[in-house]
Structure 1
Protein backbone atom coordinates (compact mmCIF):
# COMPACT_ATOMS: atom_id res chain seq x y z
CA UNK A 1 0.00 0.00 0.00
CA UNK A 2 1.35 3.43 -0.93
CA UNK A 3 1.41 6.36 1.42
CA UNK A 4 2.51 4.69 4.65
CA UNK A 5 4.74 6.96 6.70
CA UNK A 6 7.31 5.96 9.33
CA UNK A 7 7.47 8.44 12.19
CA UNK A 8 9.60 8.43 15.37
CA UNK A 9 7.62 8.23 18.56
CA UNK A 10 9.81 10.67 20.49
CA UNK A 11 11.78 10.24 23.72
CA UNK A 12 8.77 9.38 25.88
CA UNK A 13 7.71 6.64 23.44
CA UNK A 14 10.73 4.51 24.24
CA UNK A 15 12.45 4.82 20.87
CA UNK A 16 9.58 3.40 18.81
CA UNK A 17 8.96 3.97 15.13
CA UNK A 18 5.29 4.28 14.19
CA UNK A 19 3.84 3.37 10.78
CA UNK A 20 0.94 5.67 9.93
CA UNK A 21 -1.66 5.85 7.19
CA UNK A 22 -1.93 9.11 5.20
CA UNK A 23 -4.70 10.25 7.58
CA UNK A 24 -2.32 9.88 10.56
CA UNK A 25 -3.82 6.66 11.97
CA UNK A 26 -1.16 4.25 13.27
CA UNK A 27 -1.23 0.75 11.79
CA UNK A 28 1.95 -0.61 13.44
CA UNK A 29 4.97 0.26 15.52
CA UNK A 30 8.51 -1.05 15.64
CA UNK A 31 10.05 -1.37 19.10
CA UNK A 32 13.76 -1.05 18.42
CA UNK A 33 14.74 -2.21 21.91
CA UNK A 34 12.76 -5.45 21.68
CA UNK A 35 13.28 -5.74 17.88
CA UNK A 36 9.56 -6.43 17.49
CA UNK A 37 6.91 -5.12 15.10
CA UNK A 38 3.44 -4.83 16.60
CA UNK A 39 0.82 -4.85 13.83
CA UNK A 40 -2.51 -3.12 14.44
CA UNK A 41 -3.94 -3.65 10.94
CA UNK A 42 -3.07 -7.11 9.64
CA UNK A 43 -4.37 -6.35 6.14
CA UNK A 44 -1.48 -3.88 5.75
CA UNK A 45 1.18 -6.31 6.99
CA UNK A 46 3.21 -6.52 3.77
CA UNK A 47 3.16 -2.77 3.24
CA UNK A 48 4.16 -2.24 6.87
CA UNK A 49 7.15 -4.56 6.50
CA UNK A 50 8.18 -2.79 3.30
CA UNK A 51 8.00 0.63 4.96
CA UNK A 52 10.01 -0.51 8.00
CA UNK A 53 12.59 -2.60 6.14
CA UNK A 54 15.25 0.18 5.98
CA UNK A 55 15.10 0.53 9.78
CA UNK A 56 15.22 -3.14 10.80
CA UNK A 57 18.33 -4.64 12.38
CA UNK A 58 18.64 -8.41 12.47
CA UNK A 59 15.77 -10.87 12.95
CA UNK A 60 12.53 -9.29 14.14
CA UNK A 61 9.39 -10.77 15.64
CA UNK A 62 6.03 -9.76 14.19
CA UNK A 63 2.59 -10.04 15.71
CA UNK A 64 -0.26 -8.26 17.43
CA UNK A 65 0.58 -5.73 20.16
CA UNK A 66 1.50 -7.31 23.51
CA UNK A 67 -1.06 -7.12 26.27
CA UNK A 68 -0.42 -3.75 27.96
CA UNK A 69 0.77 -3.73 31.53
CA UNK A 70 -0.96 -1.71 34.21
CA UNK A 71 1.84 0.88 33.99
CA UNK A 72 1.40 1.29 30.23
CA UNK A 73 -2.37 1.65 30.61
CA UNK A 74 -1.89 4.29 33.30
CA UNK A 75 0.50 6.19 31.04
CA UNK A 76 -1.97 6.10 28.15
CA UNK A 77 -4.72 7.61 30.29
CA UNK A 78 -2.51 10.36 31.76
CA UNK A 79 -3.81 13.85 30.85
CA UNK A 80 -1.29 15.66 28.62
CA UNK A 81 -1.09 18.67 30.94
CA UNK A 82 -0.18 16.40 33.86
CA UNK A 83 2.57 14.50 32.00
CA UNK A 84 6.18 15.39 32.81
CA UNK A 85 7.67 12.99 30.25
CA UNK A 86 7.75 15.55 27.37
CA UNK A 87 9.77 18.02 29.47
CA UNK A 88 13.07 18.93 27.84
CA UNK A 89 16.27 19.29 29.89
CA UNK A 90 16.23 22.78 31.39
CA UNK A 91 12.58 23.30 30.43
CA UNK A 92 11.92 25.90 33.14
CA UNK A 93 15.14 27.78 32.42
CA UNK A 94 14.06 28.25 28.81
CA UNK A 95 10.99 30.08 30.07
CA UNK A 96 13.05 32.13 32.53
CA UNK A 97 15.40 33.23 29.77
CA UNK A 98 12.49 34.33 27.63
CA UNK A 99 10.55 36.17 30.34
CA UNK A 100 13.07 36.52 33.17
CA UNK A 101 15.60 39.14 34.32
CA UNK A 102 17.12 41.52 31.80
CA UNK A 103 20.41 41.91 33.69
CA UNK A 104 23.46 40.63 31.82
CA UNK A 105 24.92 38.66 34.75
CA UNK A 106 21.60 37.00 35.59
CA UNK A 107 21.09 35.94 31.97
CA UNK A 108 24.64 34.62 31.73
CA UNK A 109 24.04 32.51 34.83
CA UNK A 110 20.79 31.18 33.37
CA UNK A 111 22.52 30.32 30.09
CA UNK A 112 25.29 28.45 31.92
CA UNK A 113 22.76 26.51 33.98
CA UNK A 114 20.69 25.75 30.89
CA UNK A 115 23.69 24.53 28.89
CA UNK A 116 24.75 22.26 31.76
CA UNK A 117 21.25 20.79 32.16
CA UNK A 118 20.90 20.25 28.42
CA UNK A 119 24.22 18.45 28.11
CA UNK A 120 23.60 16.26 31.14
CA UNK A 121 20.01 15.65 30.07
CA UNK A 122 21.14 14.48 26.64
CA UNK A 123 23.62 12.13 28.32
CA UNK A 124 20.87 10.63 30.49
CA UNK A 125 18.36 10.39 27.61
CA UNK A 126 20.92 8.39 25.64
CA UNK A 127 20.70 5.66 28.30
CA UNK A 128 17.14 4.76 27.26
CA UNK A 129 18.24 1.76 25.14
CA UNK A 130 19.88 0.41 28.30
CA UNK A 131 16.53 0.36 30.08
CA UNK A 132 16.68 3.77 31.76
CA UNK A 133 13.87 6.34 31.91
CA UNK A 134 14.56 10.03 32.57
CA UNK A 135 12.35 12.92 33.64
CA UNK A 136 13.50 16.53 33.58
CA UNK A 137 12.40 19.52 35.68
CA UNK A 138 10.32 17.56 38.19
CA UNK A 139 8.41 19.92 40.51
CA UNK A 140 8.83 19.20 44.22
CA UNK A 141 7.07 21.53 46.69
CA UNK A 142 9.59 23.26 48.92
CA UNK A 143 12.53 22.36 46.67
CA UNK A 144 11.76 23.97 43.34
CA UNK A 145 12.47 21.38 40.66
CA UNK A 146 14.67 18.31 40.43
CA UNK A 147 16.86 18.82 37.36
CA UNK A 148 16.80 15.15 36.35
CA UNK A 149 15.15 12.09 37.84
CA UNK A 150 16.63 8.83 36.53
CA UNK A 151 14.87 5.50 36.91
CA UNK A 152 16.67 2.43 35.67
CA UNK A 153 18.21 -0.96 36.41
CA UNK A 154 20.57 0.49 39.04
CA UNK A 155 17.77 2.32 40.88
CA UNK A 156 16.44 5.88 41.10
CA UNK A 157 18.69 8.94 41.08
CA UNK A 158 17.76 12.51 42.01
CA UNK A 159 20.25 14.67 40.10
CA UNK A 160 21.27 18.27 40.72
CA UNK A 161 23.27 19.69 37.79
CA UNK A 162 26.07 22.22 38.30
CA UNK A 163 28.07 24.02 35.58
CA UNK A 164 31.79 23.48 36.17
CA UNK A 165 32.82 26.50 34.08
CA UNK A 166 36.12 24.79 33.13
CA UNK A 167 37.36 25.21 36.68
CA UNK A 168 38.25 22.91 39.56
CA UNK A 169 35.18 21.68 41.44
CA UNK A 170 35.33 20.31 44.98
CA UNK A 171 32.37 18.34 46.34
CA UNK A 172 32.16 18.06 50.12
CA UNK A 173 29.61 16.71 52.54
CA UNK A 174 27.64 19.97 52.68
CA UNK A 175 29.00 22.33 50.02
CA UNK A 176 30.20 22.31 46.43
CA UNK A 177 32.82 24.83 45.34
CA UNK A 178 33.55 25.70 41.71
CA UNK A 179 36.71 27.70 41.17
CA UNK A 180 36.87 30.73 43.45
CA UNK A 181 33.13 31.29 43.60
CA UNK A 182 31.12 31.16 46.80
CA UNK A 183 30.50 27.56 47.94
CA UNK A 184 27.04 26.25 47.01
CA UNK A 185 24.81 24.06 49.21
CA UNK A 186 24.09 21.62 46.35
CA UNK A 187 25.02 18.45 48.30
CA UNK A 188 22.57 19.34 51.07
CA UNK A 189 19.89 20.26 48.55
CA UNK A 190 20.08 17.05 46.53
CA UNK A 191 20.22 14.96 49.71
CA UNK A 192 16.99 16.52 50.99
CA UNK A 193 15.29 16.43 47.57
CA UNK A 194 16.14 12.74 47.19
CA UNK A 195 14.62 12.03 50.60
CA UNK A 196 11.42 13.82 49.54
CA UNK A 197 11.35 11.89 46.25
CA UNK A 198 11.85 8.61 48.12
CA UNK A 199 8.90 9.41 50.36
CA UNK A 200 6.75 10.40 47.37
CA UNK A 201 7.60 7.33 45.27
CA UNK A 202 7.84 4.95 48.22
CA UNK A 203 11.18 3.73 46.90
CA UNK A 204 14.87 4.26 47.58
CA UNK A 205 16.28 7.31 45.78
CA UNK A 206 20.01 8.09 45.55
CA UNK A 207 21.06 11.76 45.60
CA UNK A 208 23.47 12.73 42.85
CA UNK A 209 25.43 15.75 41.63
CA UNK A 210 26.24 16.16 37.95
CA UNK A 211 29.20 18.48 37.39
CA UNK A 212 29.45 19.59 33.76
CA UNK A 213 32.61 20.90 32.05
CA UNK A 214 34.82 21.21 35.13
CA UNK A 215 38.59 21.11 34.58
CA UNK A 216 38.67 18.46 37.31
CA UNK A 217 36.35 17.24 40.05
CA UNK A 218 37.54 16.36 43.55
CA UNK A 219 35.23 14.44 45.87
CA UNK A 220 35.76 14.43 49.64
CA UNK A 221 36.39 10.87 50.88
CA UNK A 222 33.64 11.37 53.47
CA UNK A 223 31.02 12.04 50.73
CA UNK A 224 29.67 8.51 50.37
CA UNK A 225 25.90 8.90 50.10
CA UNK A 226 25.89 11.15 47.01
CA UNK A 227 26.94 10.01 43.53
CA UNK A 228 29.05 12.56 41.64
CA UNK A 229 28.62 12.23 37.89
CA UNK A 230 30.21 13.84 34.83
CA UNK A 231 28.97 13.65 31.22
CA UNK A 232 31.81 11.55 29.77
CA UNK A 233 31.78 8.88 32.48
CA UNK A 234 28.17 8.95 33.73
CA UNK A 235 26.80 6.30 31.32
CA UNK A 236 29.45 3.72 32.24
CA UNK A 237 29.12 4.54 35.95
CA UNK A 238 25.36 3.98 35.89
CA UNK A 239 25.18 0.96 33.58
CA UNK A 240 27.93 -0.86 35.51
CA UNK A 241 26.19 -0.38 38.88
CA UNK A 242 24.63 -3.45 40.52
CA UNK A 243 21.03 -4.08 39.40
CA UNK A 244 18.31 -2.95 41.79
CA UNK A 245 15.12 -2.72 39.69
CA UNK A 246 13.51 -5.05 37.16
CA UNK A 247 11.94 -3.69 33.92
CA UNK A 248 8.32 -3.87 35.21
CA UNK A 249 9.34 -1.96 38.36
CA UNK A 250 11.11 0.66 36.25
CA UNK A 251 8.04 1.23 34.09
CA UNK A 252 5.69 1.35 37.08
CA UNK A 253 7.88 3.90 38.89
CA UNK A 254 8.33 5.95 35.72
CA UNK A 255 4.56 6.06 35.19
CA UNK A 256 4.07 7.19 38.78
CA UNK A 257 6.84 9.81 38.63
CA UNK A 258 5.81 11.31 35.29
CA UNK A 259 2.40 12.31 36.68
CA UNK A 260 2.54 15.88 38.05
CA UNK A 261 -0.22 14.99 40.50
CA UNK A 262 2.14 12.52 42.20
CA UNK A 263 4.28 15.48 43.28
CA UNK A 264 1.78 18.32 43.58
CA UNK A 265 -1.45 16.52 44.44
CA UNK A 266 -4.70 15.92 42.53
CA UNK A 267 -5.48 19.62 42.21
CA UNK A 268 -2.47 20.19 39.97
CA UNK A 269 -2.80 19.96 36.23
CA UNK A 270 0.24 21.82 34.99
CA UNK A 271 3.68 20.39 34.13
Structure 2
Protein backbone atom coordinates (compact mmCIF):
# COMPACT_ATOMS: atom_id res chain seq x y z
CA UNK A 1 0.00 0.00 0.00
CA UNK A 2 3.06 2.29 0.14
CA UNK A 3 3.52 4.21 -3.13
CA UNK A 4 6.89 5.75 -2.20
CA UNK A 5 8.93 2.94 -3.84
CA UNK A 6 7.33 3.65 -7.25
CA UNK A 7 9.96 4.55 -9.81
CA UNK A 8 9.42 7.29 -12.38
CA UNK A 9 7.27 5.78 -15.12
CA UNK A 10 6.31 2.75 -13.03
CA UNK A 11 2.91 2.41 -14.72
CA UNK A 12 4.50 2.57 -18.18
CA UNK A 13 7.07 -0.06 -17.20
CA UNK A 14 4.28 -2.40 -16.12
CA UNK A 15 2.35 -1.73 -19.35
CA UNK A 16 5.45 -2.40 -21.49
CA UNK A 17 6.15 -5.63 -19.60
CA UNK A 18 2.58 -6.83 -20.18
CA UNK A 19 2.48 -5.82 -23.85
CA UNK A 20 5.90 -5.02 -25.35
CA UNK A 21 4.40 -4.53 -28.80
CA UNK A 22 5.75 -5.90 -32.10
CA UNK A 23 9.48 -6.58 -32.34
CA UNK A 24 9.92 -4.53 -35.51
CA UNK A 25 8.23 -1.17 -35.94
CA UNK A 26 8.71 1.62 -38.41
CA UNK A 27 8.41 4.18 -35.62
CA UNK A 28 9.46 3.83 -32.00
CA UNK A 29 6.75 2.91 -29.50
CA UNK A 30 5.40 6.23 -28.09
CA UNK A 31 5.26 4.62 -24.64
CA UNK A 32 9.06 4.34 -24.64
CA UNK A 33 9.41 8.07 -25.31
CA UNK A 34 6.87 8.83 -22.59
CA UNK A 35 8.88 6.58 -20.24
CA UNK A 36 12.07 8.47 -21.07
CA UNK A 37 10.32 11.78 -20.34
CA UNK A 38 9.01 10.52 -16.99
CA UNK A 39 12.42 9.16 -16.00
CA UNK A 40 14.17 12.42 -16.88
CA UNK A 41 11.62 14.49 -14.96
CA UNK A 42 11.66 12.05 -12.04
CA UNK A 43 15.45 12.21 -11.71
CA UNK A 44 15.37 16.01 -11.59
CA UNK A 45 12.59 16.06 -8.99
CA UNK A 46 14.28 13.36 -6.89
CA UNK A 47 17.36 15.61 -6.60
CA UNK A 48 15.23 18.12 -4.65
CA UNK A 49 15.08 15.70 -1.68
CA UNK A 50 17.91 17.45 0.14
CA UNK A 51 16.03 20.76 0.04
CA UNK A 52 13.09 19.46 2.08
CA UNK A 53 11.13 18.03 -0.84
CA UNK A 54 9.54 14.63 -1.39
CA UNK A 55 8.56 13.28 -4.78
CA UNK A 56 6.17 10.43 -5.49
CA UNK A 57 5.84 8.87 -8.94
CA UNK A 58 3.03 7.18 -10.89
CA UNK A 59 0.23 7.83 -8.44
CA UNK A 60 -3.04 6.14 -9.47
CA UNK A 61 -6.12 8.31 -9.80
CA UNK A 62 -9.65 6.93 -9.63
CA UNK A 63 -10.84 6.10 -13.12
CA UNK A 64 -7.56 4.70 -14.40
CA UNK A 65 -5.53 7.87 -14.93
CA UNK A 66 -2.44 8.74 -12.93
CA UNK A 67 -0.35 11.65 -11.74
CA UNK A 68 3.11 11.29 -13.28
CA UNK A 69 4.89 12.98 -10.36
CA UNK A 70 3.74 14.66 -7.17
CA UNK A 71 6.31 17.05 -5.72
CA UNK A 72 5.70 18.04 -2.10
CA UNK A 73 7.88 20.71 -0.53
CA UNK A 74 8.05 24.07 1.20
CA UNK A 75 6.65 25.81 -1.91
CA UNK A 76 3.54 23.57 -1.93
CA UNK A 77 2.26 20.58 -3.86
CA UNK A 78 2.78 20.20 -7.60
CA UNK A 79 1.27 17.60 -9.93
CA UNK A 80 3.91 17.33 -12.66
CA UNK A 81 2.97 15.88 -16.05
CA UNK A 82 5.95 14.92 -18.25
CA UNK A 83 5.88 15.34 -22.01
CA UNK A 84 8.56 14.09 -24.41
CA UNK A 85 9.40 16.99 -26.73
CA UNK A 86 12.99 16.22 -27.73
CA UNK A 87 14.16 18.60 -30.49
CA UNK A 88 10.61 19.70 -31.28
CA UNK A 89 8.91 23.06 -31.26
CA UNK A 90 6.15 23.50 -28.73
CA UNK A 91 3.34 26.01 -29.15
CA UNK A 92 1.18 26.67 -26.11
CA UNK A 93 -2.26 28.22 -26.74
CA UNK A 94 -4.30 27.46 -23.63
CA UNK A 95 -5.85 24.83 -23.49
CA UNK A 96 -4.16 23.54 -26.66
CA UNK A 97 -0.59 22.43 -27.01
CA UNK A 98 1.01 21.75 -30.38
CA UNK A 99 4.06 19.51 -30.46
CA UNK A 100 6.09 19.69 -33.67
CA UNK A 101 3.83 19.12 -36.69
CA UNK A 102 1.18 17.20 -34.80
CA UNK A 103 -2.39 18.39 -34.45
CA UNK A 104 -3.10 20.58 -31.41
CA UNK A 105 -4.04 18.62 -28.30
CA UNK A 106 -6.00 19.96 -25.27
CA UNK A 107 -3.29 18.64 -22.93
CA UNK A 108 -3.39 21.59 -20.52
CA UNK A 109 -7.01 20.74 -19.72
CA UNK A 110 -5.93 17.21 -18.71
CA UNK A 111 -3.01 18.51 -16.63
CA UNK A 112 -5.39 20.83 -14.75
CA UNK A 113 -7.93 18.03 -14.25
CA UNK A 114 -5.27 15.67 -12.84
CA UNK A 115 -4.12 18.34 -10.38
CA UNK A 116 -7.74 18.98 -9.35
CA UNK A 117 -8.30 15.28 -8.72
CA UNK A 118 -5.10 15.12 -6.67
CA UNK A 119 -6.29 18.18 -4.71
CA UNK A 120 -9.55 16.43 -3.97
CA UNK A 121 -7.79 13.25 -2.79
CA UNK A 122 -5.30 15.11 -0.56
CA UNK A 123 -7.68 17.89 0.55
CA UNK A 124 -4.92 20.40 -0.19
CA UNK A 125 -4.15 22.70 -3.10
CA UNK A 126 -2.14 20.92 -5.79
CA UNK A 127 -0.81 23.13 -8.57
CA UNK A 128 -0.46 21.74 -12.11
CA UNK A 129 2.91 21.75 -13.89
CA UNK A 130 3.69 20.56 -17.42
CA UNK A 131 7.34 19.52 -17.79
CA UNK A 132 8.60 19.58 -21.39
CA UNK A 133 11.59 17.28 -21.83
CA UNK A 134 14.15 18.52 -24.36
CA UNK A 135 12.14 20.94 -26.55
CA UNK A 136 14.01 22.98 -29.15
CA UNK A 137 11.69 25.97 -28.75
CA UNK A 138 8.70 26.87 -26.60
CA UNK A 139 6.31 29.65 -27.60
CA UNK A 140 3.19 30.96 -25.92
CA UNK A 141 0.31 32.61 -27.76
CA UNK A 142 -1.47 33.09 -24.43
CA UNK A 143 -0.36 32.74 -20.84
CA UNK A 144 -1.65 29.38 -19.61
CA UNK A 145 -4.28 29.67 -16.90
CA UNK A 146 -3.18 27.99 -13.64
CA UNK A 147 -0.67 25.64 -15.36
CA UNK A 148 3.06 26.27 -15.18
CA UNK A 149 4.78 25.11 -18.35
CA UNK A 150 8.47 24.46 -17.69
CA UNK A 151 11.35 22.95 -19.59
CA UNK A 152 13.04 20.06 -17.83
CA UNK A 153 16.02 22.34 -17.19
CA UNK A 154 13.76 24.75 -15.25
CA UNK A 155 12.19 22.18 -12.90
CA UNK A 156 14.78 22.64 -10.17
CA UNK A 157 13.46 26.20 -9.86
CA UNK A 158 10.45 24.85 -7.96
CA UNK A 159 12.72 24.51 -4.91
CA UNK A 160 13.63 28.19 -5.06
CA UNK A 161 10.06 29.40 -4.68
CA UNK A 162 8.87 30.96 -1.46
CA UNK A 163 7.77 28.82 1.45
CA UNK A 164 4.08 27.97 1.79
CA UNK A 165 4.27 24.80 3.88
CA UNK A 166 6.04 24.15 7.16
CA UNK A 167 8.32 21.08 7.37
CA UNK A 168 5.76 19.26 9.54
CA UNK A 169 3.04 19.93 6.93
CA UNK A 170 5.32 18.63 4.16
CA UNK A 171 5.91 15.41 6.11
CA UNK A 172 2.21 14.96 6.90
CA UNK A 173 1.17 15.48 3.26
CA UNK A 174 3.91 13.12 2.09
CA UNK A 175 2.72 10.43 4.51
CA UNK A 176 -0.85 10.85 3.28
CA UNK A 177 0.09 10.92 -0.43
CA UNK A 178 2.20 7.77 -0.28
CA UNK A 179 -0.73 5.72 1.07
CA UNK A 180 -2.57 3.95 -1.78
CA UNK A 181 -5.90 4.23 0.06
CA UNK A 182 -5.74 8.04 -0.29
CA UNK A 183 -6.08 7.68 -4.07
CA UNK A 184 -8.94 5.17 -4.23
Q: TM-score range by the shorter chain?
A: over 0.9
The answer to whether the Cα contact below 8 Å between 2:41 and 2:82 also exists between their aligned partners in 1 is yes
Give 2:79's aligned residue.
158
* 1:215 aligned onto 2:159: no
Give 2:4's aligned residue.
85
Q: Give a deviation string over 1:149-181, Cα, whole Å, max 9, x none.
A: 111111001111110031101122112111001
The verdict on how the C-alpha distance between 1:172 and 1:143 changes in structure 2, with shifts beyond 3 A counting, is farther
The verdict on how the C-alpha distance between 1:174 and 1:255 changes in structure 2, with shifts beyond 3 A counting, is same
Stretch moving more, 223-232 or 243-252: 223-232
The verdict on how the C-alpha distance between 1:96 and 1:185 changes in structure 2, with shifts beyond 3 A counting, is same
* 1:201 aligned onto 2:122: yes
The verdict on how the C-alpha distance between 1:143 and 1:221 changes in structure 2, with shifts beyond 3 A counting, is farther
SS for the counterpart of 2:13 is helix
Residue of structure 2 aligned with 1:96, choices 15, 39, 52: 15
Displacement after TM superposition at 1:211 (Å) = 0.4
Matches of residues 124-135 of structure 1 in structure 2 within 5 Å? 124-135=45-56
- Distance in 2 between residues matched to 1:238 and 1:105, nearest whole Å: 38
Q: Give a deviation string over 1:51-93, Cα, whole Å, max 9, x none.
A: xxxxxxxxxxxxxxxxxxxxxxxxxxxxxxx011000000111
Structure 2, gaps ≥5 residues long: none
* 1:111 aligned onto 2:49: no
Structure 1, gaps ≥5 residues long: 1-81, 265-271
Displacement after TM superposition at 1:107 (Å) = 5.5
TM-score computed with the length of structure 1 as normaliser? 0.64
Question: Comparing both chains, which one has the higher relative contact order based on Cα–Cα distances under 8 Å and sequence gaps of 6 or more?
Answer: 2
* Superposition RMSD in Å: 1.5
The answer to whether the Cα contact below 8 Å between 1:97 and 1:107 also exists between their aligned partners in 2 is no
Report which of the two structures shows the higher radius of gyration computed on alpha carbons. Answer: 1
Displacement after TM superposition at 1:131 (Å) = 0.7
Displacement after TM superposition at 1:101 (Å) = 5.0
SS for the counterpart of 2:132 is strand
- Distance in 1 between residues matched to 2:138 and 2:166, nearest whole Å: 32
